[in-house]
Amino acid sequence: MDQEAPVYLHQLPVPGEDRYVSLALVNTRFTVSHGQVDLLDDTEAAHLWLVRHGLLPDQVELNGRQSGRLRTLREALRALFEAREAGTPPADGALDTLNTALAAAPATPRLAWTADGPHRADVPDTGNPAAAALSLLAEDATDLLTGADAGQLTACAAQGCARWFLRSHGARRWCTTKCGNRVRAARAYASRKAGSP
């Protein structure tokens, strides 16, 4: 881990981010002790995030409008996750944003032949790399929201935490042990304070 990086970049990944990059995208906005952190707060940061997640070649530049679309997609995904968890229909704007991203660089089906034999491979349109990145993120989110893991998608129950994760078991309520420890410590403090004369 880079020791020169700001402390908030040392956040532990939450369960599910390794399988769904869209979950990692939603978790780019979170709170730490000194306030709100946005890993996509400007064009350079958005470019770095896309490159680090293998969604954009490093030499491809990202402009302000494209980084704005990435942040808009993130907020739309957050709204869709919230609607999924609540069992309510999402706001039209969130659904429209996801569907626009899906259509921005649709994948073309191809037949690939590997050592395992033939299989289908969907190749994204690479004519516009930034649009392809958004399309891949939207497709990933669609798979998460409609697939077998959808029922495990949950928001962290720790006060002040805005991260989402995939629950590995029904009793899990926190995205990381750090959040769980913080909640337990707060409960213990409140209990001691209530019991003192």
Residue 163 has pLDDT above 60, yes or no: yes
Position 61 scores a pLDDT of: 93
Residue found by looking up tokens 């999402």 in the block: 90
User: In this structure, is residue 184 part of a structural domain?
Assistant: yes
Answer whether 135's CB lies under 8 Å from 101's CB.
Answer: yes
Position 27 scores a pLDDT of: 95
Answer whether 158's CB lies under 8 Å from 176's CB.
Answer: no
Nearest CA to 77 out of 33, 6, 29 is that of 29
How far apart, in whole angstroms, are the C-alpha atoms of residue 70 and residue 134? Answer: 7
User: In this structure, is residue 63 part of a structural domain?
Assistant: yes
List the domain range (segments joined by +) for residue 81: 7-195
Question: Model confidence at 185, in pLDDT bands (50, 70, 90)?
Answer: low
User: Which residues are bridge partners to 110 per DSSP?
Assistant: 121
Residue 174 has pLDDT above 90, yes or no: no
Residue 102 amino acid letter = L
Nearest CA to 100 out of 123, 69, 128 is that of 69
Question: Model confidence at 190, in pLDDT bands (50, 70, 90)?
Answer: low
User: In this structure, is residue 143 part of a structural domain?
Assistant: yes
Domain count, the chain: 1
Average pLDDT over residues 60-73: 96
Residues 98-128 have pLDDT tens digits of 999 999 887 788 898 999 999 998 877 778 8
User: In this structure, is residue 2 part of a structural domain?
Assistant: no
How far apart, in whole angstroms, are the C-alpha atoms of residue 64 and residue 183? Answer: 38
Q: Which tokens go with 9?
A: 């970049």
Residues 26-56 have pLDDT tens digits of 999 988 777 788 999 999 999 999 999 999 9
User: In this structure, is residue 58 part of a structural domain?
Assistant: yes
How far apart, in whole angstroms, are the C-alpha atoms of residue 122 and residue 80? Answer: 25
Looking at per-residue pLDDT, the higher value among 125 and 67 belongs to: 67
Residue 2 has pLDDT above 80, yes or no: no
User: In this structure, is residue 26 part of a structural domain?
Assistant: yes
User: In this structure, is residue 154 part of a structural domain?
Assistant: yes
User: In this structure, is residue 1 part of a structural domain?
Assistant: no
Most distant CA pair in the chain, distance: 74
Global pTM value: 0.83
Looking at residue 55, which CATH number applies to its domain?
A: 1.10.3300.10
Looking at per-residue pLDDT, the higher value among 32 and 15 belongs to: 15
Position 187 scores a pLDDT of: 62
* CA end-to-end distance (rounded Å), the chain: 47
Question: Model confidence at 8, in pLDDT bands (50, 70, 90)?
Answer: very low
Which residues have CB under 8 Å from 41's CB, separation 6+? none
Answer whether 22's CB lies under 8 Å from 98's CB.
Answer: no
Position 3 scores a pLDDT of: 46
